Structure 1
Amino acid sequence: MAENKPGGVQSVTRALDILEAIDGAGGELALIDIAAASGLPTPTIHRLVRTLVDRGYLRQLPDRRYALGSRLIPLGSTALTAFGSRSTPELRRLVSELGETANLATLDGDQVVYVGQVPSPHAMRMFTDLGRHVPAHCRATGKALLSQLPDEQIRTILRRTGMPAFTPRTITSPDELLTQLATVRERGWAVDEGELEEGVVCLAVPVPSSIASLAVSISGPAVRVDERVRARAVPLLTKVAADLAAQLDVASA
């Protein structure tokens, strides 16, 4: 449970403790488990949970467990979009150094959605509409994001979405993807080489933050994103990802 800060409103703090406890448990929790996770008295939890349900921030399931409510979805989307806009200076730094389009992405349900972008100055460049959803299994950003999840959760996502082949290079085997994700976790960065679009290379690094699941990437034509560019890109992406994580941590403090 978070400590109350001077000047804070106790009831607001406690409501947020409940939401964070449920989020930390994967999105669903029984009342007795909410009490254990939050450390709050049961009568207090009853009052707060009832209010959160009435406002749509929680919903009660048939088995009497509580789940995060739909009212949180637009708030989260708006917050991510706003953060995507604030990430522009960091993305511009990548474009200035590497000359390729820089992106910021997150997982929305089972798919990758782009929330920030600065395009390459080249006439031939990659461009993805902000808000566009793409499958996670065939994009470097998707691999970077999936690498932060347990393997069983990844398998569940892949069972729901399938692994359609977009090019001959697309990985269509869950086991093969999980093997690659183990490598991503070990080395700290992901790549897709023509797996969603032929002739396009994308490099991505997860943003090391517990506040939000994000990945930062660059993408460009394979003829330009050669080994020399890749060697420069990985440390730059890692630095930008760390800076973005620090921004998130400061904002949540």
Structure 2
Amino acid sequence: MAAAGGMVGLSKLAQESGLALPTIHRLVRTLVDLGYVRQEPSRQYSLGPRLIRLGESASHLLGTWSRPHLTRLVDAVGESANLAMLDVDQIVYVAQVQSRHSMRMFTEVGRRVHPHCTAVGKAVLAHLPPDDVQALLQRTGMPAQTEHTITDPAMFAQVLDRVRVQGYAMDDGEQEVGVCCVAVPVLGTTNPLAISVSGPAPRMTNEVVQRAVPLLHRAAEELARELAP
């Protein structure tokens, strides 16, 4: 239902799930009674309000589980560490531990951004099917956040190829001028996640990035094991 944009008919649900229509109808009616799904005047069904509470609880738990890993990254690299998730067509930041520097990057938990202009977004998209990535980019339109934002789908596809080869993604002023970020994916989890280190561009030197990458991979692998379904 979420993948269909939040609203879908019973026949489509039956087709996508492979379940019989009477089974789908019974399951959906139960979800309606519990408040997780609601029936629209069009007779289609949409996500219900009780899912908001579930989502908030899951996000809080994810932030709690990831915090020790983010803290170790901050201690080792000296810059802010973030955990982000792909939610439909946007990247949402679900956890952060800030740098101890007086001048630091602050990304509030819950903030939503376009994936094409962030390191975490590139890290996630690089491990999705190319057709799904192109469809997402068509829906979002790839707006330019700064003069450095990549807005050409073909060029962006080349960037994702490079991300897959080198094992990490970079954002150098593409979301915010003067901010640099390096990220790796958290593979094998139910939801597409990425973990990153970000800071002011003058401090995020190549030496810092190369030191951060193996630490990010280690944190991503440890977190993936904890979140494995």
TM-score range, shorter chain: 0.7 to 0.9
- Counterpart Cα distance in 1 of 2:36 and 2:123: 29
What is the alpha-carbon distance in structure 2 between the residues aligned to residue 188 and residue 175 of structure 1?
20
- Aligned equivalent of 1:192: 171
Which residue does 1:97 correspond to in 2?
A: 76
Q: What is the distance in 2 between the residues matched to 1:165 and 1:44? A: 46
How big is each residue's C-alpha offset from its partner over 1:38-58, in whole Å with a ceiling of 9 and x where there is no partner? xxx776554333312433435
Contact 1:205 1:237 in 2 (8 A): yes
Name the structure 1 match of 2:198: 219
1:205 and 2:188 matched: no
Q: CA deviation at 1:220?
A: 0.9
Deviations 1:22-66 (A, max 9, x none): 789998754255345xxxx77655433331243343567999987
Question: CA offset at residue 98 of structure 1?
Answer: 0.3
Aligned-pair CA distance for 1:77 = 3.8
| 1:130 aligned residue | 109
Find out whether 1:31 has 2:10 as its counterpart. Answer: no
The aligned amino acid for 2:17 is I
Shift of 1:214: 1.1
Contact 1:113 1:134 in 2 (8 A): yes
Shift of 1:143: 0.9
CA contact (8 A) 2:13 2:24 kept: no
- For 1:231, the aligned partner's letter is Q
Shift of residue 195 of structure 1?
A: 0.9
Paired position in structure 2 for 1:166: 145
Aligned length: 225
- CA deviation map 1:148-176 (0-9, x unaligned): 32222222222222222222211111111
Find the residue that maps to 1:177 and give its secondary structure: helix
Distance 1:120 1:49 in 2: 46
Q: Which moved more, 1:66-75 or 1:162-171?
A: 66-75
Aligned to 1:76: 55
| Greater Cα shift, 83-92 or 71-80 | 71-80
CA-atom RMSD, angstroms? 2.9
2:90 pairs with 1:111: yes
Q: TM-score, normalised by structure 2?
A: 0.84
Helix, strand or coil at the partner of 1:137: helix
Per the alignment, residue 248 of structure 1 pairs with 227
Distance 1:155 1:74, change over 3 A: farther
**Following TM superposition, by how much is the alpha carbon of 1:186 offset from its aligned partner in structure 2, in angstroms?**
2.8
- Segments of 5+ residues of structure 2 without an aligned counterpart are none
- Would you say the 8 A contact 2:84–2:92 is kept in 1? yes
Name stretches of at least 5 consecutive residues in structure 1 with no aligned partner.
Answer: 1-21
Counterpart amino acid of residue 170 in structure 1:
T
Q: Displacement, 1:87?
A: 1.1
Q: Whose relative contact order is higher, 1 or 2, with alpha carbons under 8 Å and at least 6 apart?
A: 2
CA pair 173-32 structure 1, distance change in 2 beyond 3 A = closer
* Cα 1:108/1:45, change in 2 over 3 Å: closer
**Cross-structure match for 1:120:** 99
Aligned-partner residue type, residue 155 of structure 2: E
Q: Map residues 48-67 of structure 1 onto 2, 5 A cutoff.
A: 48-58=27-37
Cα distance per residue 1:195-229 (max 9 Å; x no partner): 11222210001111232221100001222111211
Counterparts of 1:188 and 1:223, CA distance in 2: 23
Q: For 2:215, what is the secondary structure of its paired residue?
A: helix
Q: Is the 8 A contact 1:167 1:197 kept in 2?
A: yes
* Secondary structure class of the residue paired with 2:95: strand
